[in-house]
Amino acid sequence: MKLKQLLSVLLAFTVLFSVMTACGSTSDEPDSAVTTSSTEAEEEAVTVDRDNTYAYDEDAPSLYEAFAQWFKVGTAMNISDLVEGTEEFEILVKQYNVFTLENESKPDAMHPSEDVYNFDALDQLVEFANEYDKTVRGHTLVWHSQCPDWFFYDDDGNTVSADVLVERLIEHVTTIVSHYKGEVDVWDVCNEVLGDSGGLRDSMWYQIIGDYDGDGDSYDYIEIAFTAAHEADPDARLIINDYSLESSESKAISMYMMVKSMLEEGIPIDGIGLQMHVDIGFDVETCKNNVEILMKLKSIDPDFVIEVTELDLSCFTWSDTSTEVELTDEFLEQFDSLYSDIFEMFIEFSEAGYLDSVVFWGYYDGMSWLNGYPVSGRTNYPLLIDRDYKLKSAYWSLIDLAESKS
């Protein structure tokens, strides 16, 4: 009799509890049941406050994961950013999967005098990349800027002969690329070899080495650098990197003509780097047109690609000399939708088999080279993460784009 009574009390309790739960779930108030039964996107909307999410937050999305089906996403950084446990470190690991040193793997840093090589910074980046399964871009072996004078002058201050400079060039490229054989996946072998008014830049490399093999063209220093890099690491991807290829058709054509002739001679160039330091006046259609010109090189090498190597989006057009910009809702809408159009174009490039990776030139606004350049005292906001490491609305527009295209 007692057991029967106990069972009926338990039954009554169970019925009452079920009724209460059912009533609760029909209420208009959001509750946990609503969150768990909603779609993933709705869940994110409930749990992530887009205006207050930091790039290192555990529940923040990951940029490189969002675009993984199309291309890798990377950033330039400094070796001082790689301190485990810091916010910078967490951002890098979470948001990007390709890394390049902003300054520490340039000739002046890595090879400051003939007998001195500094491998420390790039060694550290390689170690980090191996541990976290990331890709490393080496930037850059040959450049007219940030290149020490010792390459070009002898002890008496006279310019060296073509033979001497060729020997120094081969030694420089071979030593560095061999040191990183199998570790640095991609090299910007030559940077900014074209001049602004068409044709080759009038650099010391060009002036001294010139038409070294006497075949009628004067880009022999480029050919020598690529050949030496390929011999030192046949598996590394070798890139010729330049600016304004995305906006100047004549520069894109110059690049196309020069690379075409080198590929036909069998020079091992695997791709063209588009720096893409673009601004708020950027024209996506011009960029698509120029990339189509460059990608005609696929008829010579079907694996030939472009890489976006130094992306940022200045809030000031080139002719604007002001130092401040007001980030009004209207301006941000324009900025965000331009970033979104650019990434939509990148997706198209990737789907056409053109594009391998997109690397930003810095990962938060406070570190960008565009602060103070080209106008001194300027504050710029060209990236996707703000000065406090919060995700900007442009970041979210890219996440939405990736989701809508998936």
Provide the annotated active-site residues.
192, 242, 310
102 part of the interface to ligand G3I, by CB under 6 A: yes
**CB closer to ligand G3I out of 243 and 395:** 243
Q: How far apart are CA 282 and CA 290, in angstroms?
A: 13
Phi, psi of 43 (to 5 degrees): -60, -45
Q: Cis check for the bond before 374: say yes or no (omega within 30 of 0).
A: yes
Q: How far apart are CA 49 and CA 60, in angstroms?
A: 10
Can residue 365 be called a binding residue for ligand G3I (CB under 6 A)?
A: no
Per the CB < 8 A criterion, the answer to whether 50 and 396 are in contact is: yes
Per-residue b or e along 324-350, where b marks 16 or more CB atoms closer than 10 Å to that residue's CB: ebeeeeeebeebbebbbbbbebbbbbb
The smaller minimum CB distance to ligand G3I, of residues 90 and 104, is found at 104
C-alpha 231/C-alpha 229 separation (Å) is 5
Find the shortest distance in angstroms from Cβ 144 to ligand G3I: 10
Shortest distance in whole angstroms from residue 367 CB to ligand G3I: 9
Return the residues of window 291-320 that contact ligand G3I according to CB under 6 A: 310
Out of 53, 103, 323, 379, the only residue in the binding site for ligand G3I (CB under 6 A) is 103
Toward ligand G3I, which CB reaches closer, 70 or 381? 381
- Of residues 178-197, those binding ligand G3I (CB under 6 A): 191
Rounded-to-integer distance, Cα 306 and Cα 315, Å: 25
Axis-axis angle for helices 284-294, 249-264 (nearest 10): 20
Tell me how many residues contact ligand G3I (CB under 6 A): 8
Please, which residue, 145 or 159, has the CB nearer to ligand G3I? 145
Single residue of 212, 331, 369, 387 touching ligand G3I by CB under 6 A: 369
Region 118-147 residues binding ligand G3I, contact defined as CB under 6 A? 145-146
Report the interface residues with ligand G3I, using CB under 6 A. Answer: 102-103, 145-146, 191, 275, 310, 369
